[in-house]
Amino acid sequence: MPTAGGVQTAITSGSEIGCNVIQLFTSSPRQWRSSALKEESISAFKEARLVAQTKFCIAHDSYLINLAAPPGDILDKSINSFREELVRAEQLGLDYLVTHMGAHGGDGEDVGLVRLCESLTRIHSDLPGYKVRVALETTAGQGTYLGSTFEHFPRIFDLVGEHERLAVCLDTCHIFAAGYDIRTQEAYADTMGKFGETVGFDRLKVLHTNDSMKPLGSRADRHAHVGEGEIGLEAFRLLVNDDRLYGNPFILETPDAETMHAVNLRRLKDLVSSAE
């Protein structure tokens, strides 16, 4: 949800269309520099959340951040920026901070994974005792980005200091673009079975429920409205009725937020077999 007028507007706007989960940017996602949150903004956000009784509040970090970058200016900026992202998330009392896992820039997956883990370990050490958890997002596999295969995740958990501060965010568009099919009951069972065996449902804490404009295995991160893309409605019916996912936050990142978030939200809710 947008935050024009203050971070608290993400909650009020979301609540108006029936959301009980909100994702927001705590600063501009397309620039390095960010301003510290003012106390009145923090208080207004927490009050809005209390009034709306929002179950989960989640931030997504800046698109510029690359914690797997080669040593140099970009990596330094990324570590500093991500540290600031975590500080703001903690100040607001958010549950998770979602981040892409970064790109190795041609140095190879093994090197990139090690750099990512070193960055996260350093940041954890710099910010001890934080309650907000980092949710590592599955990616579409474009370029040299990490996170397009489930096998990356257990390797990260093994290498990062204080790995209990990490969680996983599964994006339906991204895994589909990376080659994981979920369009039929059989395909869904196979893909989610692989996820459970490799990553573990105990690590899965956030879901991004986006259809895909591009076909299976395209490695293109292009979101579409629920049921209107290459994935189709059946996959989302299976997703929202999967008992293994019960209680986790589901987030829409579909286009045309102002006019279509309410439509996509209703589509998802209508797919639930037995609403609580």
Q: Which of 30, 158, 258, 276 is catalytic?
A: 30
Residue 273 belongs to what H/E stretch?
Answer: none
Instruction: Report the residue count for the chain.
Output: 276
Half-sphere CA count of 236, side-chain side, radius 13 A: 28
- Shortest CA distance to 85 belongs to which of 39, 43, 31? 31
Q: Which of 88, 95, 96, 100 is catalytic?
A: 100
Residue 22 belongs to what H/E stretch?
Answer: strand 21-24
Let me know if 253 is a catalytic residue.
yes
Let me know if 63 is a catalytic residue.
yes
Q: Which of 174, 203, 237, 261 is catalytic?
A: 174
Q: Which of 49, 60, 225, 261 is catalytic?
A: 60
The residue with tokens 């990324």 is 78
Q: Which of 61, 85, 95, 137 is catalytic?
A: 137
Let me know if 261 is a catalytic residue.
no
CA separation for the pair 239, 242 (Å, rounded): 5
Q: What is the 3-state secondary structure (H, E, C) of 196-212?
A: HHHCCCCCEEEEECCEE
Q: Which of 63, 110, 151, 244 is catalytic?
A: 63
CA separation for the pair 176, 193 (Å, rounded): 15
- Locate the DSSP E strands across the chain: 21-24, 56-60, 96-100, 133-137, 166-171, 204-208, 211-212, 223-224, 250-251
Q: Which of 61, 85, 95, 171 is catalytic?
A: 171
Q: Which of 109, 118, 181, 253 is catalytic?
A: 253
One-letter amino acid of 96:
Y
Let me know if 152 is a catalytic residue.
no
Let me know if 137 is a catalytic residue.
yes
Q: Which of 88, 208, 237, 261 is catalytic?
A: 208
Let me know if 163 is a catalytic residue.
no
Let me know if 221 is a catalytic residue.
yes
Q: Which of 104, 221, 225, 261 is catalytic?
A: 221
Catalytically annotated residues: 30, 60, 63, 100, 137, 171, 174, 208, 221, 223, 253
